[in-house]
Structure 1
Amino acid sequence: MQAFHLLGSAPFYTNSFLLLTKAGHAVIIDPAAGVQEYDKILRDHGAVLTHILCTHGHYDHVGSAGVLSREWGAKIWCEAADCAGTQLFPLKSADFGYGEGTNLSVDELTFTAWHTPGHTEGSVVLLCSEYLFVGDTVFQGSIGRTDLEGGSDRKMEASLRKFAGLPIPKETQLLPGHGDFSTYGEELETNYYIKAALRNA
């Protein structure tokens, strides 16, 4: 597997990731960067985009999904709850949603999804090998906002407790939707919001 980190435009600078399999298939997690940036990597490596995986449906995470899907014939994964066709949730539909704790395989890559509502109703985290893509559920030392449409303090607290109990090695790299990277273990040990959720259990 080859992994590439791309950034969306200002002011959000959303983290986006492109993974290439040994067979030349590509997976994008949160297509927030410009279409041409993905196209260049794909064409430089002779790869074909087949899967677009969205951690949630906010516009700063899915901006290039539609164009890339049409251009490459790639399928889009996003929870139906986050496909409202609005300014905040621009996707009107997706090809697939995620089954709780189920696996999605793309050649040698296996993604495991867990639902983590709170930032949005359809938020998920995705584990692939040593990478945990958490969208806006958890940031380094913080969590995603719960005061936007579809957000919920109560559901976020429950999701953080679930998050803390996931069967994931502590050294797994935590890749959030915004800001710096961390590890799963570091967030369990130092993230105030996760620790508070566990105290309130």
Structure 2
Amino acid sequence: MLEVKVFELGLIIQANCYVVSEDGHALIIDPGSKGRGVQKYIEEQQLTVDAIVLTHGHFDHCAGADHFVKEYQCPLYIHPLDEPMLRDPKLNFSADFAPLVVTARPRLLQRGKQTIGHFTIEVIDAPGHSEGSCLLLLKDRMFCGDVLFQGSIGRTDLIGGSNPKMVQTLRMLKQLGKDYIVYPGHGPATTLNEEIRYNYYLQSV
């Protein structure tokens, strides 16, 4: 059974980091800082970390990536269009705070279903917040980064953002045809049907 544990990480901007686990294996999604609580949970649950996976390349979702890659000797994954953000503080939006460069060389997510360690993940392109923003689907769970929030959506005014592409992404979400449990980059979990029904931004496209 798939288990999801959420941690709010980050000293400047808190973002949701998720530990997704099943059968003793785990993925860490969007580690925004080192997160001692994350390591404690992994130790307590005796989990083997198969990979770190990023929904996009902004600093508040990847500042802990190098730490966890080193700690667990596991690969890092990101969408190819956001890969340059890891090495450029201006692109990852950290230049005005604490400039961040991720040194781990990532593997690139591919569109569609793929196996990462123990897990089968479906990756769906979801640009708008960033060029390489993507949805990570694991069974009936959707990890959407800053694409969709409870009652809102991600901003489109940062480098790589696009309002027209966000509109296309929102239309795509309405056509998925399945009520996923949605785990966003900030704020509480929700469901896709709930957002389609009540989220103004989804209603308006």
For this structure pair, what is the TM-score category when the shorter chain's length is used for normalisation? 0.7 to 0.9
Partners of 2:103 and 2:110 in 1: CA distance: 20
Residue 122 (structure 1) aligned with residue 123 (structure 2): no
SS in 1 for 2:55: coil
TM-score (norm 2): 0.86
- Counterpart amino acid of residue 180 in structure 1: P
Kindly report the root-mean-square deviation, in angstroms, between the aligned alpha carbons of the 2 structures.
Answer: 1.8
Which residue in 2 is equivalent to 1:28? 28
- Counterpart amino acid of residue 49 in structure 1: V
Which residue in 1 is equivalent to 2:182? 174
- Counterpart amino acid of residue 9 in structure 1: G
Judging changes above 3 Å, is the alpha-carbon distance between structure 1 residues 92 and 194 closer, same or farther for their aligned structure 2 residues?
farther
Partners of 2:140 and 2:66 in 1: CA distance: 28
2:194 to 186, 189, 192: 186
Which residue in 1 is equivalent to 2:97? none
Which residue in 2 is equivalent to 1:16? 17
- C-alpha offsets along residues 124-158 of structure 1, whole Å, 9 cap, x if unaligned? 01111221111100111111000001101111111
Residue 150 (structure 1) aligned with residue 160 (structure 2): yes
Judging changes above 3 Å, is the alpha-carbon distance between structure 1 residues 120 and 93 closer, same or farther for their aligned structure 2 residues?
farther
Q: Residue 17 of structure 1: CA displacement?
A: 0.6
1:101 to 112, 128, 140: 112
Partners of 1:93 and 1:104 in 2: CA distance: 20
Partners of 1:92 and 1:143 in 2: CA distance: 30
In 1, are the aligned partners of 2:33 and 2:65 still within 8 Å (CA)?
Answer: no
In 2, are the aligned partners of 1:31 and 1:62 still within 8 Å (CA)?
Answer: yes
Which residue in 1 is equivalent to 2:95? none
TM-score (norm 1): 0.87
Q: Residue 94 of structure 1: CA displacement?
A: 4.5
Q: Which runs of 5+ in 2 are unaligned?
A: 93-100
Judging changes above 3 Å, is the alpha-carbon distance between structure 1 residues 93 and 70 closer, same or farther for their aligned structure 2 residues?
closer
Which residue in 2 is equivalent to 1:83? 83
Q: Residue 162 of structure 1: CA displacement?
A: 1.3
Q: Residue 123 of structure 1: CA displacement?
A: 0.1
Judging changes above 3 Å, is the alpha-carbon distance between structure 1 residues 65 and 117 closer, same or farther for their aligned structure 2 residues?
same
> How many pairs does the alignment contain?
193
Which residue in 1 is equivalent to 2:60? 60
Partners of 1:123 and 1:11 in 2: CA distance: 21
